[in-house]
Amino acid sequence: MKGTTRSASGWMLSAFAAVIGGLFSVCSTPAVGQGSQGQDAVYNSSNGIVGSSAFIDASVFANSPPPPLNFCTVLNYVLTHSFPAVGAVVDTRGLPFTNPPTSMTCTMSPWGSGSSYVNVPSTILAGGPDLRGIN
């Protein structure tokens, strides 16, 4: 009788593990961003995983603007190309680690000047000792 109890317990444990494993494989959604370049993926209950324009990773734009490539030219590029009118958070902290590394010494204002002045609502995440202003 003891052997039967162990067999039934083992069978129930195996069945339980199979059901839980099946639920994870059926209910899981792959984490693939479907938004624009630089956007993080977020979950939208009606469409699944979508890109969020509320947060933009500037490091993916490191090679997009024309030379000279530096912190300010990349930030200016992000602010002037498909930037959401309602504003966004732009994370520039990864720029020193791009390949090739983005210079953290600015040669221009990221907001431009005169008629090319960029006036968009934005929060810029920047930091570190490598960030230098215009000389």
Chain CA centroid to CA 80, Å: 18
**pLDDT tens by residue, 49-104:** 776 778 888 988 998 888 888 999 999 999 998 788 888 889 888 888 888 888 88
Q: Please tell me the distance from the alpha carbon of residue 104 to that of residue 9, in angstroms, as a whole number.
A: 63
CB atoms under 10 Å from CB of 135, counted, come to 6
**pLDDT tens by residue, 101-114:** 888 888 889 998 88
Are 91 and 120 found together in one domain? yes
> Number of folded domains in the chain?
2
* Sheet hosting strand 48-57, strand order edge to edge: 39-44, 48-57, 88-91, 122-125
Chain CA centroid to CA 98, Å: 14
Which helix (H) or strand (E) is 54 found in, with range?
strand 48-57
- Which domain covers residue 99, as residue numbers? 39-125
Chain CA centroid to CA 34, Å: 11
Are 49 and 94 found together in one domain? yes
Q: What pLDDT does residue 68 have?
A: 84
Tokens of 5: 């109890």
Can you give the pTM of this predicted structure? 0.61
CB 94 within 8 A of CB 59: yes
> Which carries the bigger pLDDT value, residue 63 or residue 35?
63
Q: What pLDDT does residue 129 have?
A: 54
Asked if the structure places residue 80 within a domain, the reply is yes
CB 71 within 8 A of CB 101: no
- The confidence band for 23, taking pLDDT boundaries of 50, 70 and 90, is very low
Asked if the structure places residue 130 within a domain, the reply is no
Helices (H), the chain: 2-27, 71-80
Are 51 and 23 found together in one domain? no
> Which carries the bigger pLDDT value, residue 109 or residue 15?
109
Tokens of 73: 């030219």
Asked if the structure places residue 50 within a domain, the reply is yes
Are 67 and 118 found together in one domain? yes
